[in-house]
Structure 1
Amino acid sequence: MTALAQRYFTDSFTITYDDITDGVYTEEEEAAADERCIGLVTDVGLVDDKSFNQASWQGAQEGAEAIGVDVSYIETQNSKDYAANIGLFAGAGCEIIVTVGFAMGEATGIAAAEYPDINFIGVDMWQGEALSNVAGLIFNEDRAGFLAGALAASMSSTGIVGQVLGTNLVPPVQAFGNGFDRGARYINPDIEILKTYHPGAIEVAFGDPEWGATTSRQAMDQGADVIFAAGGSTGNGGLMEVAAAATAGESVFCIGVDIDQWYSVPEAKPCLITSAEKHLVQGVSTLVVMAAAGELPSGNYYGTVGLAPYHDFDSVIPDDVKATIDEIAAALNDGSMETGYSFGDE
């Protein structure tokens, strides 16, 4: 364990300092090492969730490499520790702190006011009142969901599709889910959509792969032949259940979320036709570089969204379906088409 980690480590979280060399520092040397660093704090959940947290962490790493500083993360174990975990990086002298997840919004705002000389990047955090040292990285998840729904409806043979989602207490999850509904019905107004949100609190809704698997199985048993799974490890469990069914000979497809899960959840490859992506890596790394240059945009900063490549299913998806998806994506991007989603529709 490094000297810096020893100074701040407690049982309430996991902390790693990958790029700080092990050894003994004088106080002066420690201060110099601490001064140039980036810290990332997750919401309750693991950094290697193969989805949202993992992509945010990768973006922080790429941004840190671009500006030549050390980067570390803390995995929050309990929501009561948000402020303390942010404070650890502030106390270590980190110039940029990335906080990940809607639920950390309040703690991030309070910390930004307490530490005005630190730049904060809040991933999935809408900024109602702009603070000069906070950029809220947000996305039009409804657009990505719309594209996923349009593809799902186009590929469904039964006329029934399913959604396995994290809690609807989180606005981006609502946006994904509602956007999917609208995209599916844009293609087939009569399509049946089996949509299920996790019934638990935020602390558990994204870390329940067993529930995700069970819910996917229930949807397939009711005739759904395309499943959109969006909800961290919960969604990953849903994807893997559909993949197991596809491997067993069922004619079913699945769609991942947040990043291209072809790579992050290879177990889903037997069914994974695409993923509804938020370009988190690009968004976080871009804001890190901007912050280091003294150009952090205050308020809300929109990252881009889209569908991941079709990979092994490219030849399975008809050309006319691909063309339709491309046309919808272009129209959403240039503003000539709107999903119609507003927060609170769910």
Structure 2
Amino acid sequence: MTSILSNNYFVHFSNSGYLKFEEFLEDFKPSKCFILVDENTRNYCYDNFVTKLSKQYPFEIIEIPSGESFKNLETCNFLWKKLTDLGADRKSLLVNLGGGVITDMGGFTASTFKRGIPFINIPTTLLSMVDASVGGKTGVDLGVLKNQIGLFSNPEMVLIDSNYLETLSPRELLSGLAEIIKYGLTYDIQLWNEIKTFKSLTVSNITPLIYISIAIKNEVVSEDPKENGLRKILNFGHTLGHAIESYFLESKDKVTLTHGEAIAVGMVMELYLSHIKFNFPLNLVEEVKNKIQDLFGKVEISSTDFNAIIDLLIHDKKNINGNVNFVLLNSFENCELNCTVENSFLIDAFNYYII
């Protein structure tokens, strides 16, 4: 696959990506090279990574616990201290080998350590490949509030190897599909048409869509790096989705959702809001709802949960002057930005999802 040029860095693919990685090491000559992993990527991905290289390198492994609950400043503080203890300087390199938590937090840690050291992202989940590989967003959560602390900072390069997807559970693989569906509904309906044919999700049927998804996100981000206009379409499904994800994360009697599961719910609900506000065809809302629930199952949301989830919307990063802003659709590939929605319509959307 041809490398994709993003904002001042390349996304490289498969075996050529490892060659580019080694070329970077030879050219940059880092004083030290640290590999950030969690216990899963340490056990299932690290050995695959080093065996793809032509020779051994003196990597220092830094391991943190896996999971969204560790994506916080406390973990960053551990990482900053660890880098300090291991003698990292401004010529050091941090390689983030993992999913979205690792690449988001690793990028943030590197970008703030000694006012910034270079980092490389090697995403190992479908979600991080199609979502976090381009765009330059780094950050951590503030309590249960998603990505409240962060900054825009680009890696030196990104290496995409779909072989890492073989290490994922079916649930984690499915989580990344939600972002691909988002690209299809908002930007390239052919992606959605392809996904509609899936009887099940496998690495083989999803791999061809990875390159297309990254190329789409790169087109959007290259035109609007700081999310002033077009890039906002990438938030479709995320306003409600993030609130649902946060609510399930903090609720003691709820099973924590994956990011993709929450975004899938958010997309169904925001499509229904699109029907209410902009006459998006109800039969197409039904089509998307049925396929998403066929693939993801149905999340159990009670009417007693509605108001608590709505209360979390006030913390969404897209809000301006206290207004909660949604991305809604007039039709497939035709988005309306900065839409405000009455609470009564939000309740209607919840009720639509749960029936």
TM-score bucket of the superposed structures, by smaller chain: 0.3 to 0.5
> Whose RCO is larger (CA < 8 A, sep 6+)?
1
Normalization by structure 1: what TM-score? Answer: 0.34
Higher helix share: 2
Normalising by structure 2, report the TM-score: 0.34
